[in-house]
């Protein structure tokens, strides 16, 4: 069986490729765990300064692997809790990781796959992208992915996406600010790696502090956010001496 996650370095950029192409890279437990561990390994490797997450084949990620749902029932509460915790940890790892993450997304990026796109710091998309949250159409809830979506998009449009379950095209996602760039499908990965390489060239201490502060102020009341900015302003005086 092929590895469900492929890892490749291009200079200071680590490329993590979800590799269940026959399942459109749907997130089963094995792939979810592998991707989380892949992110953690990149975090802990000082030679890696930026990360690209992508999917093998014609899709980024088709969300949760529904074939596992038959074992995730009320009769097996420990398995349900373990799987939910694993999914939560994976999505939380993206903003908490001290290195920038670029998603390179083509084809289906739905449900949990859309969540991974939005959890990434930047998204480069192919025109083939279909990004959405179809959970309600399957009688379930886009639960873990809803936090990131509402924070990035705001309540009205976010509710429309999770309630109706209709996908966005690449251009529509770009217009809403959910995608940074739309590039030709054949150059998708190269464009994402090029963008990640620019991020990797930045002082890593400054980059880590920028990312940490960005996601901190995103959630804080104005006065607390300003105080966090003041503290970072003071701390940055020592950045050069620590690199």
Please state the three-class secondary structure of the chain as a single string: CCCCEEEEEECCEEEEEECCHHHCCCECHHHHHHHHHHHHHHHHCCCCCEEEEEECCCCCECCECHHHHHHCCCCCHHHHHHHHHHHHHHHHHHHHCCCCEEEEECCEEECHHHHHHHHCCEEEECCCCEEECCHHHHCCCCCCCHHHHHHHHCHHHHHHHHHHCCCEEHHHHHHCCCCCEECCHHHHHHHHHHHHHHHHCCCHHHHHHHHHHHHHHHHCCHHHHHHHHHHHHHHHHHCHHHC
pLDDT for res 238: 64
pLDDT for res 148: 87
pLDDT by residue, tens only, the chain of 243 residues = 569 999 999 999 999 999 999 999 999 999 999 999 999 999 999 999 999 999 999 999 999 887 876 676 667 678 778 888 999 999 999 999 999 999 999 999 999 999 999 999 999 999 999 999 998 888 888 888 888 898 888 899 999 999 999 999 999 999 999 999 999 999 999 999 999 999 999 999 999 999 999 999 888 888 998 998 888 888 777 655 554
Active site residues: 135
């Amino acid at each position: 069986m092929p590895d469900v996650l492929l890892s490749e370095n291009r200079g200071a950029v680590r490329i993590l490729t979800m590799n269940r192409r026959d399942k459109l890279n749907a997130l089963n437990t094995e792939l979810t765990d592998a991707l989380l561990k892949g992110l953690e390994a990149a975090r802990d490797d000082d030679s890696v300064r930026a990360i690209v997450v992508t999917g093998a084949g014609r899709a980024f990620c088709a969300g949760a692997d529904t074939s596992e749902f038959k074992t995730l029932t009320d009769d097996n509460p420990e398995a349900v809790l373990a799987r939910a915790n694993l999914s939560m940890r994976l999505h939380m790892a993206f903003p908490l990781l001290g290195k920038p993450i670029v998603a390179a997304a083509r084809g289906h990026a739905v449900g949990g796959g859309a969540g991974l796109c939005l959890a990434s710091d930047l998204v480069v998309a192919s025109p083939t992208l279909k990004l959405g949250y179809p959970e309600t159409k399957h009688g379930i809830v886009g639960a873990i992915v809803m936090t990131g979506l509402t924070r990035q998009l705001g309540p009205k449009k976010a509710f429309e996406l999770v309630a109706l379950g209709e996908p966005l095209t690449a251009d529509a996602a770009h217009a809403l600010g959910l995608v940074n760039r739309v590039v030709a499908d054949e150059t998708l990965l190269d464009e994402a790696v090029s963008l990640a390489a620019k991020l990797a060239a930045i002082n890593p201490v400054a980059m880590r502090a920028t990312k940490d502060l960005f996601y901190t102020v995103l959630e804080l009341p104005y006065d607390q956010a300003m105080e966090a900015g003041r503290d970072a302003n003071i701390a940055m005086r020592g950045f050069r001496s620590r690199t």
